[in-house]
């Protein structure tokens, strides 16, 4: 699929900004969503320098009504080909050993899981009516196995992964594609908050390139690095005690955002 009208949440930096820059070309209209006006304007300028048309919206993905009104208005103007739920935050065990706590855990679920649902659901009836378009959900390899230091993040990504797998089975026969994305570590403001090892870490641009290529070939899943996704998926097949021992090899601390 070559998308022409693309909406991306979390487009102000990191992976979302890299995706926007890589899709930017003269035929493409990019709807860029985030909360940092200055950063979004810089990403938009870089995309326009490559010939793309852009529009920006400052919206918190937790605000379901505002997000629905925005994306339906954009879809009225130009039908959306691709919607990418990328906005995300993280939390976890702090450097002093404190647990993430109720407030942080709740926010992670609200942004990463509910925020994606807030983005996608309003558009689904339109995509189904047109029998066209694609939904892309940025989960994580952390979707495949709960890691000891980031319970809410893993839960949010496991929920998002399950949501995407369900949607793909539901919508595929009706002409709407779904790409479920599970990256391992890539360099960004988020991953720089993780104190610990970052195995097989990619640059943000390399991660974005894999996603752009997966969507271009209408892939249902994009999991990278594959060996990391495979290892974490394998843990689910082990007895709980053994799986927990292996999961404890992935220990880290998460600094304040
Ligand atoms: N980095 C990694 O190693 C890694 C690995 C696997 C998966 N991921 C996933 O990849 C996605 C992108 O991560 P990243 O590393 O690029 O993170 P990042 O650099 O921290 O960027 C996060 C983006 O999400 C936006 N955002 C956060 N909260 C928001 C909210 N409430 N409403 C609207 N936008 C919000 C931020 O924009 P504003 O600040 O402007 O709102 C920003 O553009 C996330 O879903 C993350 O979980 C990352």
Q: Whose CA is nearest to atom 30 of ligand 1?
A: 60
CA of 238 to the centre of ligand 1 (A): 31
Strands (E), 22-81: 29-34, 53-58
Please report the atom of ligand 1 found closest to the CA of residue 201.
3
Q: Which helix (H) or strand (E) holds 222?
A: strand 221-224
CA of 89 to the centre of ligand 1 (A): 5
Q: Whose CA is nearest to atom 41 of ligand 1?
A: 35
- pLDDT value of position 196: 86
pLDDT at 1 over 70: no
Q: Return contacts of 203-208, CB within 8 angstroms, 24+ apart.
A: 204/14, 204/15, 204/17, 204/18, 205/18, 205/22, 207/15, 207/18, 207/183, 208/15, 208/18, 208/19, 208/21, 208/22
Binding site membership of 15 for ligand 1 (Cβ less than 6 Å): yes
CA of 92 to the centre of ligand 1 (A): 15
Binding site membership of 10 for ligand 1 (Cβ less than 6 Å): yes
Paired tokens of 182: 């599970």
pLDDT at 250 over 90: no
Render pLDDT for 38-84 as a digit per residue (tens, 0 to 9). 999 999 999 999 999 999 999 999 999 999 999 999 999 999 999 99
Give the rounded percent of residues in the chain with a pLDDT score beyond 90.
93
Render pLDDT for 141-184 as a digit per residue (tens, 0 to 9). 999 999 999 999 999 999 999 999 999 999 999 999 999 999 99
Q: How far apart are CA 145 and CA 246, in angstroms?
A: 11
pLDDT at 3 over 80: no
Q: Which helix (H) or strand (E) holds 195?
A: strand 194-195
101-123: average pLDDT: 98
Beta-bridge partner residues of 5:
29
Model pTM score? 0.97
- pLDDT value of position 151: 97
CA of 217 to the centre of ligand 1 (A): 24
Q: How far apart are CA 24 and CA 46, in angstroms?
A: 9
pLDDT tier, 29 (very low <50, low <70, confident <90, very high otherwise)? very high
Judge contact between 157 and 140, C-beta under 8 A. Answer: yes
Binding site membership of 9 for ligand 1 (Cβ less than 6 Å): yes
- pLDDT value of position 224: 98
Judge contact between 139 and 164, C-beta under 8 A. Answer: yes
Binding site membership of 122 for ligand 1 (Cβ less than 6 Å): no
172-198: average pLDDT: 95
Hunting for tokens 């993905």 — which residue is that?
61
Q: Whose CA is nearest to atom 36 of ligand 1?
A: 10
The torsion angles phi and psi of 172, rounded to 5 degrees, stand at -50, -50
Please report the atom of ligand 1 found closest to the CA of residue 189.
19
Largest CA distance in the chain: 54
183-209: average pLDDT: 94
Q: How far apart are CA 46 and CA 234, in angstroms?
A: 41
199-210: average pLDDT: 96
Among 190, 191, 208, 255, name the best residue to mutate to test ligand 1's pocket (greatest count of ligand atoms within 8 A of Cβ).
190
Binding site membership of 191 for ligand 1 (Cβ less than 6 Å): yes
CA of 13 to the centre of ligand 1 (A): 8
Q: How far apart are CA 207 and CA 114, in angstroms?
A: 24
- pLDDT value of position 45: 98
Judge contact between 44 and 8, C-beta under 8 A. Answer: no
Strands 177-183 and 82-85: unpaired
130-142: average pLDDT: 98
Binding site membership of 185 for ligand 1 (Cβ less than 6 Å): yes
- pLDDT value of position 62: 98
């Amino acid at each position: 699929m070559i998308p022409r009208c693309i909406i991306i949440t979390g487009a102000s930096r990191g992976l979302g900004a890299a995706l926007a820059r890589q899709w930017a070309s003269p035929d493409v209209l990019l709807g860029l969503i985030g909360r940092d006006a200055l950063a979004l304007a810089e990403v938009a300028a870089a995309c326009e320098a490559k010939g793309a048309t852009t529009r920006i919206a400052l919206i918190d993905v937790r605000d379901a009504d505002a997000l629905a009104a925005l994306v339906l208005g954009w879809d009225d103007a130009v039908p959306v080909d691709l919607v990418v739920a990328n906005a995300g935050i993280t939390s976890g065990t702090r450097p002093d050993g404190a647990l993430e706590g109720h407030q942080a855990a709740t926010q992670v679920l609200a942004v990463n899981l509910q925020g994606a649902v807030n983005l996608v659901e309003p558009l689904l009836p339109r995509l189904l009516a047109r029998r066209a378009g694609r939904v892309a959900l940025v989960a994580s390899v952390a979707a495949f196995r709960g890691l000891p230091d980031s319970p809410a993040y893993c839960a949010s990504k496991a929920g998002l992964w399950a949501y995407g797998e369900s949607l793909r089975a539901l919508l595929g026969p009706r002409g709407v594609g779904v790409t479920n994305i599970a990256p391992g570590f890539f360099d960004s403001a988020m991953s720089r908050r993780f104190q610990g090892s970052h195995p097989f870490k990619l640059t943000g641009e390399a991660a974005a390139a894999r996603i752009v290529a997966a969507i271009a070939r209408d892939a249902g899943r994009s999991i990278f690095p594959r060996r990391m996704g495979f290892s974490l998926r394998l843990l689910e097949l082990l007895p709980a005690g053994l799986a927990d021992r292996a999961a404890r090899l992935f220990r880290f601390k998460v600094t304040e955002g």
